[in-house]
A = this chain, B = another copy of it.
Amino acid sequence: MTKIPAKPKGAAVKPRTRIQRAKREAILEAGLDVFSQEGFRGATLDRIAKAAGLSKPNLLYYYPSKDAIHEALLRGLLDTWLAPLGAMDPDGDPLTEILSYVQGKLALSRDYPRESRLFANEILRGAPNMKPMLQTHLRQMVEDHAAIIRGWIDAGRIAPVDPVHLIFSIWALTQHYADFEVQVRAVMGEDHDPFPGAAAHLDTLFRRMLSPA
């Protein structure tokens, strides 16, 4: 890489080199581990640094503060966590659309439990860093989906339900298997994988609730 002029000197503002990108990625990975387990206040820079294989000052060379790491992770949640929410085709078969959304969300809980717990921790604290986003972005998303669902109901294609509470139900039921994994495993046994059973159960649940009378 040849010398680039006008290189902003405020070290590590945007990931330029592959190395920087990799280290910042490692830090986010470590931060996700620690924040999702311990919550924001419980997480320490030392633990994150150690988990990322860096010294604390070195970590702070890439991210200027603990808050910065946390906020970067929360911003990342928008992609990993809320993007799959964007998929509900008003022209598709209602039950199929909803059921596959449910299964997709359940798969997220299985494959990205740390992200789910990070989000849960943030909400539990009162969402100090996400409230504006929830009140705008998420709210809009819910309203859009609710409108679609309401359309299906009005057309008699699924049984009538409150669309907003239906969406809450999907979130609650799927995220439960990530956020309360410890409880689920304590009840079902440590070696028992709860997800296949959960997938079948949720399919049954929503199918029966929504099948038109």
- By a beta-carbon cutoff of 8 Å, the part of chain A in contact with chain B is 37-42, 117, 120-121, 123-127, 131, 134-135, 138-139, 142, 159, 161-162, 164-166, 168-169, 171-173, 175-177, 179-180, 182-184, 186-188, 194, 197-198, 200-201, 204-205, 208-209
Smallest CB–CB gap between A161 and chain B, Å? 6
Asked whether, in the complex, the Cβ of B165 is within 8 Å of the Cβ of A197, the reply is yes
Contacts of A200 in B (CB 8 A): 162
Contacts of A40 in B (CB 8 A): 42
Asked whether, in the complex, the Cβ of B208 is within 8 Å of the Cβ of A123, the reply is no
Supply 12 A–B pairs (Cβ within 8 Å), ascending by A. Answer: A37-B125, A40-B42, A41-B42, A117-B124, A120-B124, A123-B179, A127-B186, A131-B186, A138-B186, A142-B187, A161-B204, A169-B205
Residue of A117, A159, A161, A180 most packed against chain B (CB within 10 A): A180
Asked whether, in the complex, the Cβ of B38 is within 8 Å of the Cβ of A125, the reply is yes
Q: Which of B39, B172, B184 is A42 in contact with, Cβ under 8 Å?
A: B39
Q: Which of B121, B166, B186 is A139 in contact with, Cβ under 8 Å?
A: B186
Report the separation of the CA atoms of residues A186 and B129 in the bound assembly, to the nearest whole angstrom: 13
Contact A124 to B205, CB < 8 A, known contacts A39-B39, A39-B42: no
